[in-house]
Amino acid sequence: GAGVSQTPSNKVTEKGKYVELRCDPISGHTALYWYRQSLGQGPEFLIYFQGTGAADDSGLPNDRFFAVRPEGSVSTLKIQRTERGDSAVYLCASSFAPVTNTEAFFGQGTRLTVV
């Protein structure tokens, strides 16, 4: 696609429910990143994929968070047993080069609200 596409753009869920957030990167981009941004804060790193594998998942806050990228393109961020503190905008970015974030293009994000 022309840019990084994230769906849904908004998601409201009840506390304790499971959610999946999808990221469709720019075609040909091998690196994919997930960030989380709370109100008034900068984006916080969650996980980085190079191809199909998670090269760095050190930012995932706990084991309720998990992400996959089975075919090296689309990625899904999965959150189990959601909590109100998970409410944030979840941003996805992709790039050609694995560590050169200059080429990283961000999607519009998914605003997750846990009620």
Partner 1 sequence: EDKVVQSPLSLVVHEGDTVTLNCSYEVTNFRSLLWYKQEKKAPTFLFMLTSSGIEKKSGRLSSILDKKELFSILNITATQTGDSAIYLCAAAPRRSNYGGSQGNLIFGKGTKLSVKP
Q: Rounded CA gap, 115 and 112, in Å?
A: 10
Q: Rounded CA gap, 41 and 107, in Å?
A: 18
Question: Given candidates 21, 104, 112, 114, which one binds partner 1 under the rule CB under 8 A?
Answer: 104
Residue 21 binding partner 1, by CB under 8 A: no
Output the six-digit token pair for 111: 């605003």
Q: Rounded CA gap, 7 and 27, in Å?
A: 16
Residue 31 binding partner 1, by CB under 8 A: yes
Residue 55 binding partner 1, by CB under 8 A: yes
Output the six-digit token pair for 45: 């790193």
Give least dist CB 81 to partner 1, A. 25
Residue 44 binding partner 1, by CB under 8 A: yes
Question: Given candidates 2, 42, 62, 70, which one binds partner 1 under the rule CB under 8 A?
Answer: 42
